[in-house]
Amino acid sequence: MKRIVTFMAFLLCSYFCISSDWITYTGKDSTFRISYPNQPEEQTSAPRYGNLGSKLITYNPKKGTDDNQVYWLNVTDYPPDKINSDFSVDKQEQFLKIQASVIIMLIGKTLSEENIELNSFKGKYMTGEILKPPAELHDLIYVKVYLVKSRLYQLMVSCTPDKKDNPSVKAFFDSFELLEK
């Protein structure tokens, strides 16, 4: 019993030690909050593809300074009449799967997939491999997407296979909060 309590204390301490020094980023419109291991950079893309613009918030650690290669959040607002979390569950899930799959398929292959929720909003969690030449080299990618009203949140972390399931992946994903109802 003492070992179990000690192990649980270690896990809790590890989680809070990892995420307590992180920098919290709050969206300019105060609708979301997420933490990064260091100061993230923000890029805004000009509206394209039917007037869709997006905001990309990333942190790219210097090689060897972090277990992961990139921490990434992309926020895109869609026209409410085209896609919306008020649409049918089937339509939402199809849209989310496409959005998560596109990230992985552009650079690799899907390893796993599951439906998730955040504050009752539908989401998708996928893992994949990023294939690099030569073919035997690959990195891992973790992707979560959420549809909140007509806004799409895409979170992504990548790492090398030897850093698979490192605590920073969970800390990044768990730090994501929706501040709107």
Q: What is the pLDDT of residue 98?
A: 76
| pLDDT at residue 25, as a whole number | 95
Q: List the beta bridge partners of residue 54.
A: 45, 76
* Nearest-10 Cα torsion for 12, 15, 20, 22: -170
| 51 has pLDDT over 80 | no
Among 12-26, 43-57, 97-111, whose mean pLDDT is lowest? 12-26
**pTM for the structure as a whole:** 0.80
Fold of domain 23-178: Protein Transport Mog1p; Chain A (3.40.1000)
**In terms of Cα–Cα distance, which of 23, 146, 131, 161 is closest to 78?**
146
- Binned at pLDDT 50, 70 and 90, residue 91 comes out as confident
Query: pLDDT value at position 103?
Result: 67
**Residue 22's pLDDT band (cuts 50, 70, 90):** very high
Residue 95 has a pLDDT of 79
Give yes or no for a cis peptide into 61 (omega within 30° of 0): no
**3-state secondary structure string across 125-137:** EEEEEEEECCCCE
Does pLDDT of 96 surpass 70? yes
121-165 confidence digits (pLDDT tens): 989 898 988 877 766 668 899 999 998 988 889 999 999 889 998
Q: CB of 23 within 8 A of CB of 12?
A: no
Tokens of 62: 């210097």
Separation of alpha carbons 176 and 153, rounded Å: 10
Cα dihedral value 74, 150, 123, 118, nearest 10: 100
Q: Is the pLDDT confidence value at 68 over 90?
A: yes
